[in-house]
Structure 1
Amino acid sequence: MSSTSSPSDAAAAATQKLQDVVKDKLPNLPESKAELKAEAKAAASGGLAQLRSFAAGGFGGVCAVVVGHPFDLVKVRLQTAEKGVYSSAIDVVRKSVAKDGLKRGLYAGVSAPLVGVTPMFAVSFWGYDLGKSIVRSTSTVAPDGNLSIAQISAAGFFSAIPMTAITAPFERVKVILQVQGQKTLAPGEKPKYSGGMDVVRQLYKEGGVRSVFRGSAATLARDGPGSAAYFAAYEYIKRKLTPIDPVTGEASGKISLTAITCAGAAAGVAMWIPVFPIDTVKSRLQTAEGNVTIGGVVKGLYSKGGYKAFFPGFGPALARAVPANAATFLGVELAHQAMNKVFN
Structure 2
Amino acid sequence: MDEVDSVLEAEHVQENVLLDNVKSFAAGGFGGICAVLTGHPFDLVKVRLQTGLYNSSVQCVKQTVAKDGLLGLYRGVLPPLLGVTPMFAVSFWGYDVGKKLVSRYTGNPIDQFDIKEISTAGFISAIPTTLVAAPFERVKVMMQIQEGAKSKGMGGVIAEMYRTGGIRSIFKGSVATLCRDGPGSALYFGTYEIVKKKLSKDSDKELSLVAIMTAGGLAGVSMWLGVFPIDTIKSTQQSSNIPVSILQTTKNIYRKGGIKAFFPGVGPALARSFPANAATFLGVELARDFLDKII
What TM-score, normalized to structure 1?
Answer: 0.83
Q: Deviations over 1:246-291 (max 9, x none)?
A: xxxxx13111111000000000011111110000000000001122
Aligned positions, number: 295
Percent identity for Structure 1 against Structure 2? 54
Change beyond 3 A, Cα 1:172–1:267: same
Matched, 1:95 2:95: no
Query: Which moved further from structure 2: 149-158 or 219-228?
Result: 149-158
Query: Which moved further from structure 2: 117-126 or 30-39?
Result: 30-39
Q: Secondary structure at the match of 1:32?
A: helix
CA distance in 2, matches of 1:286, 1:312: 16
Question: Residue 333 of structure 1 aligns to which amino acid in structure 2?
Answer: E
CA distance in 2, matches of 1:94, 1:198: 26
Q: Deviations over 1:59-104 (max 9, x none)?
A: 000000000000000100010015xx43x2122111111111011x
Q: Deviations over 1:280-307 (max 9, x none)?
A: 0000000011221212211111111000
Contact preservation (8 Å) 1:243, 1:254: no
Match of 1:341 in 2: 293
CA distance in 2, matches of 1:279, 1:145: 32
Query: Which moved further from structure 2: 251-260 or 71-80?
Result: 251-260
Offset of 1:36 from its aligned partner? 2.3
Matched, 1:119 2:81: no
Matched, 1:190 2:150: yes
Matched, 1:160 2:126: yes
Matched, 1:55 2:7: no
CA distance in 2, matches of 1:99, 1:306: 32
Matched, 1:280 2:232: yes
Partner of residue 102 from structure 2, selected from 135, 142, 156: 135
Question: Residue 214 of structure 1 aligns to which amino acid in structure 2?
Answer: K
CA distance in 2, matches of 1:130, 1:51: 12
CA distance in 1, matches of 2:154, 2:101: 36
Where relative contact order (Cα < 8 A, 6+ residues apart) is larger, the structure is 2
Match of 1:222 in 2: 180
CA distance in 2, matches of 1:311, 1:195: 28
CA distance in 2, matches of 1:46, 1:240: 29
Name structure 2 gaps, 5 residues minimum.
Answer: none
More helix by share: 2
Match of 1:175 in 2: 141
Contact preservation (8 Å) 1:176, 1:287: yes
Contact preservation (8 Å) 1:74, 1:92: yes
Matched, 1:80 2:51: yes
Query: Which moved further from structure 2: 149-158 or 60-69?
Result: 149-158
What TM-score, normalized to structure 2?
Answer: 0.96
Matched, 1:150 2:116: yes
Partner of residue 307 from structure 1, selected from 259, 264, 270: 259
Matched, 1:64 2:32: no
Name structure 1 gaps, 5 residues minimum.
Answer: 1-29, 245-250
Aligned runs of 1:230-309 on 2, under 5 Å?
A: 230-244=188-202, 251-309=203-261
Contact preservation (8 Å) 1:243, 1:255: no
CA distance in 1, matches of 2:231, 2:252: 15
Question: Residue 6 of structure 2 aligns to which amino acid in structure 1?
Answer: E
Matched, 1:107 2:65: no
Offset of 1:145 from its aligned partner? 4.3
CA distance in 2, matches of 1:214, 1:272: 21
Match of 1:7 in 2: none
Question: Residue 98 of structure 1 aligns to which amino acid in structure 2?
Answer: A
Runs of 4+ in 1 over 3 A off after TM superposition: none
CA distance in 1, matches of 2:113, 2:239: 40
CA distance in 1, matches of 2:8, 2:111: 24
Q: Deviations over 1:202-232 (max 9, x none)?
A: 1111111111100000000000000000000
CA distance in 1, matches of 2:176, 2:191: 22
